[in-house]
Amino acid sequence: MIVENVFKKVGNAFGLNSSLLTHIGGNVNKVYQYPAENGHPSRIVRLSNQNWRNEEEALAELHFMKYLFDNGVSVPKIFPSKAGKLVENVTGGYHASMFAKAPGRIPTEDDWDENMFINWGRIVGQMHLLTKSYVPIPNVKRRDWTEEPWMDMMRHLPNDEPIARQRATEMLNWLETLPKDTKNYGLVHCDLHGHNIFVTRDGAITAFDFDDCCYHWFAYDIAIILYSVILRYNRQDKMSDSIDEYVAWFLDWFLKGYQEVQSFEDWWLKAMPKLLSYRRLLDYNFLHQRYNWNTVDSERKSRWLRLKEEIEADEPLTNYSF
């Protein structure tokens, strides 16, 4: 729970009335909305614990976001503090940043169409193209994925999970064989699923929550999105198309938008089944480090068991012919 003096420090740093901050969510961060007032738009304030990301990591993230924004990518504008800082150390082990609230909403079924998929692909393509020319602040750089503690499967998957650990070892060895040149690898969002975008009525997309951005393969950045699309399909009550038809529908339009601005390497699609399995392993890995099996709620426990069964059986997430 955030104590009152933290909010006061945030208010003082950014010139806000702290009593107007409304908590709207967040996983590892605390996210608050501030209403539009005095000609200023509605804003988002994010509070991060130093134990998760230190100020330099947050600054590296926001510097990349600002670079994308300045080059025409639809990401939220960043508002500096009164002292001109993108990241403010407030108190109690927290630092804060402030953004414009993205226009639109989390996509609903009404938004889920070809136009949105094209725009989704286009914005990812724009980011992948621009990261090739991005120059980080000297000595302030986002991590490579191999340096991300939460992605360290061999650290978090317990020894009494021998099959999952074997799958992880095989996957990590395979990843080492992939090309790491600038056509394939760079600083990417690394979490641009359907709850980290807002969409407007005309299908325009704004990407936000760059907290997981790191150096990784462009193909994996796309696999994360496809993984979320597959999960969305699996949660549907009525399924008119098969999962493979659903994947084909999404990918056809997403890649059309992507290829308007950025080339798509041939090997990416061939690698997609393994990259989807890699994402599933990371999902499982996150459960192990974030929750306790003995105290976790029944819904998350069911998901935990389902992931364990799928991983041990090495089930493909889709049989779509990539």
CATH superfamily of 114-313: Aminoglycoside phosphotransferase (APH), C-terminal lobe (3.90.1200.10)
pLDDT of residue 1: 54
CATH of region 4-100, choose from 3.40.50.2300, 3.40.50.720, 3.30.200.20, 1.10.30.50: 3.30.200.20
> What is the block-wise mean pLDDT of the chain (322 residues), using blocks of 10 residues?
81 94 89 92 94 94 98 98 96 92 95 97 98 95 95 95 98 98 98 97 95 98 98 80 93 98 96 98 94 89 95 96 94
pLDDT in tens, 254-308: 999 999 999 999 999 999 999 999 999 999 999 999 898 888 899 999 999 999 9
For the four alpha carbons of 195, 197, 58 and 95, in that order, the dihedral sign comes to: negative
Whole-angstrom Cα distance, residue 54 to residue 39?
A: 32
What is the token pair recorded at 187?
């600083």
The answer to whether the 4-100 and 114-313 domains have the same CATH topology is no
How far, CA to CA in Å, does 123 sit from each of 112, 191, 205, 318?
Answer: 16, 13, 8, 25
Expressed in percent and rounded to 5, the helix, strand and coil fractions of the chain are: 45, 15, 40
One-letter identity of residue 286: F
For the four alpha carbons of 298, 227, 230 and 75, in that order, the dihedral sign comes to: positive
Q: Are strands 30-34 and 43-49 parallel, antiparallel or unpaired?
A: antiparallel
pTM: 0.95
For the four alpha carbons of 135, 141, 212 and 273, in that order, the dihedral sign comes to: positive
User: Which residue ranges make up each domain of the chain?
Assistant: 4-100, 114-313
**Contact (Cβ atoms closer than 8 angstroms) between residue 194 and residue 250:** no
Rg (CA), the chain: 20
pLDDT of residue 2: 67
